[in-house]
Amino acid sequence: MQDTKNRLVAELAKECKSMDDIHNMLKDLFKDTIQKVVMSIKKLTTVTTKKLTTLEAVY
């Protein structure tokens, strides 16, 4: 598995000429994952806020 990862990284690195290229490639590769994390955090924050509001109303 590690060998496969190393080959993939080496192949992707061929396209990178600058730090901006690396930054943009990583951002593109992980954009869906990052979006899911951000949405999960937003949902968790909303649920937590609602629960706190409910608790404040009760007490």
Q: Can you give the residue ranges of every domain in the chain? A: 2-58
Burial annotation 25-43 (CB, 10 A radius, 16+ → b, else e) = eeeeeeeeeeeeeeeeeee
CA distance 39 to 18: 31
pLDDT of 55 reads 65
59 residues of the chain, pLDDT tens digit each: 889 989 988 888 888 899 999 899 888 989 999 899 999 999 889 878 877 777 667 66
How much is the pLDDT for 31? 92
- Note the pLDDT of residue 49: 84
Coil/strand/helix, residue 4: helix
